[in-house]
Amino acid sequence: MPSISTISFSPFERHHLLLCELDDTMFIVDCGWPTEDYSNVQAADSKARTAKDTVANPRDALSSINWARVDFVLISNYEQMTLLPYITEYTEFAGPVYATEPTKAYGRCVLEEGLQTIGRSGNSLSDAHVGTSSSAGAEGRRALQMPYTQQDIVASMERITDVRHNEIITPVPFVRVYTRSSGYCIGGANWTVEYKNHRTAFISTSTLATCLHPQEWDSSVLSEAQAVVFCDAADPAEQEENDAGAAPPNVHISQKINQLCSTATAALKQRNRVLLIGEPYGVTQDILQLVAENVISLNLPLPQFVIVSPIAERTLQYGNIMGEWLCATKQALLYLPEYPFVDKDLRQKGHLHFVRSLSQLATRNIPQGTWFVIASPRDSATINHFVRQWQQDASQCSSADMAGGTGTSRFSVLIHDDDVARAQAIVNQISVGNEVTYVPVSQRMTYGNIEQVLANAVRAQHVLVPSFIRARLPAAAVSRFEFGLLEYSYLQATVIDLDTDRHLPLSIQREMTQQMKRDGKQHAIVSGKLSLSAGEIRLMRDDSSNDTSDNVGEGGLKNEPTPSNTRLQLSAADQGAAYNASAVPAHYNLASWTPQRLASELSDVGLNAVVIDGGPRSGGPATGLVQVSVAGGTATIRMHRGWEVDCTSVSTQWAVLDALRQVLKSV
């Protein structure tokens, strides 16, 4: 019986690193780790901190993994590859790494930016991988010293094998891996690992929103999976009060972005300056696009868009040249031909400037006028510089200048980061009061979204979620799930048997009684439960409640012992009378079915069913056999003292089970 073991090695909610073992195959899904932490915000998981309240040490966590046994690594998006250079260059891991082309390109940018930002921060660390508090301006902030160099980043990128959405790869024999779009970012992927006809889906950071520029969420990742593993979800603290999950993702995210853009446009209309704190990719691209379009539509003077980042120029260009990874609306622009984003037009007009650092800003000759500055939330030096400079300009601005609206008296700071802890630390750091507008744009799935997408997990036997997600799912929603809902936590091993029983309640009593009443037939109230065991379905009578010493069932046949968890229990009762099993026979008689009738009924519901000769079985009477052919295998239904179904694959089980349910409901 195949099984899959999953261990989470990251104690953080937004980042994940899962070690998975599938029989003799071991692989890693994502290797994310935060590059910073904030001491003034309590960690979601207490295990993430040591007794001295320091950032958890990734080297200690990874040292317990036998990297020589790890066969391959799957990377879902650029946020989940922080530790990849360390894994490829400083461990015994020698296998391939799989990621989409945009994930590889953006991931390299993110790693290099983090390395340069921490290098500029001037932190002197006695330990190679745990940071201490930085300067007084960033008090309370701790940075993780990257345990690798620029050369390690370049070498790790060469280990990555590019994959495309919907491509099938075979990293090791007998294991197939599928990739599907997660909708979260350009190139964001979810993974399905198939082994012995059993599929396990790994749902990394995902979104159902279709109003952003990345390719949309692909729900097929869930439809064929027998086991589903969720990696993360949006923290309720990131949502407005009473708003989490209440609005559809498109409406919710569009409202947030429009609110930010309206604030920026209003400030630019008054010739005020704007500082947008956000990564130079992701939602920032949508905000930049919308602000520029609003300014042009209102016939306002275009501001000077200044982006301070060592990677901004590359990331914006990637958005233009990777059109095939964009949403359908952006892809349509490529056939005009048009660039899907506004940055090319702004550069041609001389209103878009890329500055790698503050030192380079001092040497650049940027035209006078209103400035719209974009700075990374990790770059505290740049944020502090502009806030300090603009506050000084405001204090020196005369009354005449303020009345004339020259743009030197006021400014606005916009923050859209959905990392509430980081955003709060930035607000506390810059302390500019009412000039800060914080509107978190949370793209990730909410818990309501998880309930929604699980409706598509029609073949799921098990769903595995982090403990923080399980604690936040409503109890009423959990009770509606037909599959087993499991949870995992930091350094906890969770084993899933992929062939375990799947119990499907069959509402025979209500549906059959109502149908027979409508037909005017005599009927008995029948109750039961249909259970599916791996490779076999049994529909057996159980007359143990009214059994005699001979255990003789209906038709004079002695009942076979009923396997546990694989039986249909039947009971009968008079209409409106108390149960009296000795007086009332069961009207639901499996022996009354003939192979021809069953084959005809199964054919009516769309299956290819034929009657074959089974011959005598164990010296008894001839056994009626019905053979069913479906996509992916065959099934043989043996009609003797009950129905016994042997299937050649798990996918055949589901098809036969659904057909039998339809047949029984229509009786």
Residue 612: name the closest of 626, 599, 600 by CA: 626
Pairwise CA distance, residues 546 & 149, whole Å: 77
Positive or negative torsion for Cα 266, 268, 270, 274: positive
The pLDDT score that the predictor gives to residue 237 is 59
457's tokens: 């997990």
Positive or negative torsion for Cα 365, 371, 375, 380: positive
Pairwise CA distance, residues 36 & 143, whole Å: 4
Burial class (CB in 10 A: 0-12, 13-18, 19+), 401: middle
Residue 83: name the closest of 113, 58, 100, 109 by CA: 58
Pairwise CA distance, residues 51 & 472, whole Å: 27
The answer to whether residues 229 and 464 touch, using CB atoms and an 8 Å cutoff, is: yes
3-class secondary structure per residue, 580-605: CCCCCCCCCCHHHCCHHHHHHHHHHC
Pairwise CA distance, residues 177 & 171, whole Å: 8
Question: Alpha carbon of 490 to those of 9, 465, 571: distances in Å?
Answer: 6, 12, 47
Q: CATH for 249-438? A: 3.40.50.10890
Per the DSSP assignment, residues forming a β-bridge with 355 are 308
Residue 440: name the closest of 452, 462, 424, 429 by CA: 424
Who contacts 560 (Cβ-Cβ below 8 Å, separation ≥6)?
A: 540, 641, 642
The pLDDT score that the predictor gives to residue 654 is 67
Pairwise CA distance, residues 465 & 229, whole Å: 6
Per the DSSP assignment, residues forming a β-bridge with 374 are 276, 307
Block mean pLDDT (10 aa), the chain, length 667: 86 91 93 65 38 58 89 96 94 96 95 81 41 37 67 95 94 94 95 92 93 92 90 70 59 90 92 92 93 92 92 89 89 80 87 90 84 91 89 70 54 89 84 80 86 83 88 73 83 80 42 56 41 43 38 33 31 30 38 83 85 62 76 76 69 72 68
- Token pair 């350009």 is found at 186
DSSP secondary structure letter of residue 61: H
The answer to whether residues 91 and 62 touch, using CB atoms and an 8 Å cutoff, is: yes
Who contacts 224 (Cβ-Cβ below 8 Å, separation ≥6)?
A: 192, 199, 459, 651
Residue 347: count of CB within 10 angstroms of its CB = 15
Question: Alpha carbon of 372 to those of 276, 412, 444: distances in Å?
Answer: 7, 10, 27
Residue 136: name the closest of 126, 146, 125, 122 by CA: 122
241's tokens: 């009060």
Residue 419: name the closest of 226, 517, 283 by CA: 283
Residue 127: count of CB within 10 angstroms of its CB = 11
Chain region(s) in the chain for CATH 3.60.15.10? 3-234+444-497
Which phi-psi region, left, alpha or beta, contains residue 3 (left: φ > 0; alpha: ψ -120 to 50)? beta
The pLDDT score that the predictor gives to residue 120 is 65
DSSP secondary structure letter of residue 300: P
Pairwise CA distance, residues 243 & 441, whole Å: 13
Chain region(s) in the chain for CATH 3.40.50.10890? 249-438
Question: Alpha carbon of 202 to those of 62, 157, 228, 236, 302: distances in Å?
Answer: 21, 23, 6, 22, 44
Q: Which helix (H) or strand (E) holds 26?
A: strand 25-29
Pairwise CA distance, residues 98 & 193, whole Å: 13
Q: For helices 312-321 and 101-121, what crossing angle results, to 10°? A: 170
Residue 54: name the closest of 128, 141, 148 by CA: 141
Q: Are strands 493-497 and 608-616 parallel, antiparallel or unpaired?
A: unpaired
The pLDDT score that the predictor gives to residue 34 is 84
Pairwise CA distance, residues 67 & 88, whole Å: 10
Backbone angles phi, psi at 531, to 5 degrees: -120, 140
Residue 110: count of CB within 10 angstroms of its CB = 20
The pLDDT score that the predictor gives to residue 110 is 92
The pLDDT score that the predictor gives to residue 591 is 66
The answer to whether residues 422 and 377 touch, using CB atoms and an 8 Å cutoff, is: yes
Residue 188: name the closest of 253, 282, 67, 258 by CA: 282
Q: Are strands 484-488 and 462-466 parallel, antiparallel or unpaired?
A: parallel
CATH homologous superfamily of 3-234+444-497? Ribonuclease Z/Hydroxyacylglutathione hydrolase-like (3.60.15.10)
658's tokens: 């659904």
CA 249-199-197 angle, 5° bins: 150
Question: Alpha carbon of 351 to those of 302, 369, 375: distances in Å?
Answer: 7, 10, 17
582's tokens: 């000795």
Residue 107: name the closest of 79, 68, 74, 130 by CA: 79
399's tokens: 């009354």
The pLDDT score that the predictor gives to residue 468 is 86
Concatenate the DSSP letters of all residues of 445-470 into one string. Answer: --HHHHHHHHTT-TT-SEEEEEHHHH
217's tokens: 């969420």
Collapsed DSSP state (helix, strand, coil) of residue 326: strand
